Chain A
Amino acid sequence: QAVLTQPPSLSASPGASASLTCTLRGGVSVVTYRIYWYQQKPGSPPQYLLRYKSDSDNQRGSGVPSRFSGSKDASANAGILLISGLQSEDEADYYCMTWHGSAVLFGGGTKLTVL
């Protein structure tokens, strides 16, 4: 049974970079999975940010700033959302998602605080 695990919270300073991890557990390799990332602000539905499988298979959503990018850490079996040049407006919950067979898995979300 595949599961996506995210740290519950992360804090970073304005102007700094934040690396949000999404670890794939359950005996499957993140290398073969596309990881999708969503941003959710209080009282609003999630918004699609980007997907990342590899440097040749990735896509940023329409209107998403280039400060948001994806990568993977194969040794940690994790997908990564990197946010550079943090701004106060980046404070939000971030969810990773993937497809496992024909079913969708969401991670538990990371609350990013910019302070």
Chain B
Amino acid sequence: QITLKESGPPLVKPTQTLTLTCTFSGFSLSTSGVGVAWIRQPPGKALEWLALTYWDDDKRYSPSLNSRLTITKDASKNQVVLTMTNMDPVDTATYYCARTWCSGGRCYFDYWGQGTLVTVSS
């Protein structure tokens, strides 16, 4: 059974750095074709992809947020960490992590965590 769970502070102040952890089970981030992504969703709004790390340590970032994001993985601990600097109230959102499955160049998010709501406010 594949599960993912996001954890992190529910409240951060403007200009602070957010650190989120995705802890997963049921798959290995050392397996070819596997990745873990972060996606967020402001209240009542659309999904926005943030970052992705692959089994081979390749990393990809949203072009619009690239300068603020860092994604790292610890395959031995089954964890992926996302840091986002200089938080602003517009970054208030539910943050999801999702397993990425790639086969023949076709990659999609097949399992998602329940998400964690992060509010940015002073």
Residues of A within 8 A of B (CB): 34, 36, 38, 40, 44-48, 51, 59, 61, 95, 97, 99, 102-109
Contact = CB atoms under 8 A, between A and B. Distances in A.
A106 B49 contact: yes
- Secondary structure at chain A's binding surface: helix, strand, loop or mixed? strand
B114 A45 contact: yes
Q: Determine the main DSSP class of B at the interface with A.
A: strand
Interface stretch (B19-27, B68-76, B102-110): B102-110
B115 A36 contact: no
Given A34-B106, A45-B96, A103 B112 contact: no
Interface of B: 37, 39, 46-49, 52, 60-63, 96, 98, 106-110, 112-115
Nearest to B64: A103
A99 B107 CA distance: 8
B47 A48 contact: no
Instruction: Count chain B CB atoms within 10 A of each CB in A59, A102, A104 and give the residue with the most.
Output: A104
Contact of B46 (A45, A47, A106): A106
